[in-house]
Amino acid sequence: MAVTSARGMRDFAPRDKERRDAILAIIGETYHRHGFEAIETPALEDSSVLHSGMGGDNEKLAFQVLKRGLESADLAGANDPSELSDLGLRFDLTVPLARFYATHHASLPPVFRAFHTGPVWRAERPQKGRYRQFIQCDIDILGEAGVLAEVEVMLATADALTRLGLEGFTFRVNDRRLLK
């Protein structure tokens, strides 16, 4: 029997890890030059935060973590599987950013330019080219209502892609406010 990583997960050999770290460093340096500040959030979030009002398929994306100290009777007596879990792995970086901002907004500038990178986990069936665990890179501008913030995000991303040696990329905009 071959010993492999879990389905939808992957290992990175030293050379691949070094290459990925170098790419992430270039992205981070570029976003920092554009005024974005790096934040870090835990991999685990309270289930109530992960599922706050989203419903639909988002409810199914999070890997749930069983509550500590459960007994066999607890497992057998649960009417709903959600009663057994109080934490989940983040499935993207948007929810943790919103929780971070709600927690720390008083100590942050009125317009906060956040850069957030880290592993995320999706509890979905892996398919070709899709993984259950991957690195996500996000930049966001909070506290700026105008469309210029969206333009700044695209310019910073274009700069990062250019510094990585990518050419011929395009942005597709699907927001009526920007198209006006």
Three-state secondary structure of 72-90: HHHHHHCCCHHHHEEEEEC
Nearest CA to 45 out of 83, 98, 117 is that of: 98
pLDDT of residue 52: 72
Residue 19, domain extent:
14-43+90-179
What is the percent of the chain where pLDDT is above 70?
Answer: 92
For residue 146, being part of any structural domain is answered with: yes
pLDDT of residue 176: 76
Question: What phi and psi values does residue 71 have, to the nearest 5 degrees?
Answer: -105, 165
Nearest CA to 35 out of 107, 141, 145 is that of: 141
Residue 132: DSSP 8-state: S
Flag whether pLDDT at 54 surpasses 90: no
Structure tokens that stand for 124 in this block? 């979905």
For residue 98, being part of any structural domain is answered with: yes
Q: Taking residues 140-156, report their average pLDDT.
A: 92
For residue 73, being part of any structural domain is answered with: no
Could you tell me if 27 and 105 are in contact, meaning their C-beta atoms sit under 8 angstroms apart?
A: no
- Number of domains comprising the chain: 1
CATH of the domain at 157: 3.30.930.10
Could you tell me if 136 and 92 are in contact, meaning their C-beta atoms sit under 8 angstroms apart?
A: yes
For residue 135, being part of any structural domain is answered with: yes
Distance CA 12, CA 117 (A): 18
Rg (CA), the chain: 19
Summary mean pLDDT of the chain: 88
pLDDT of residue 68: 82
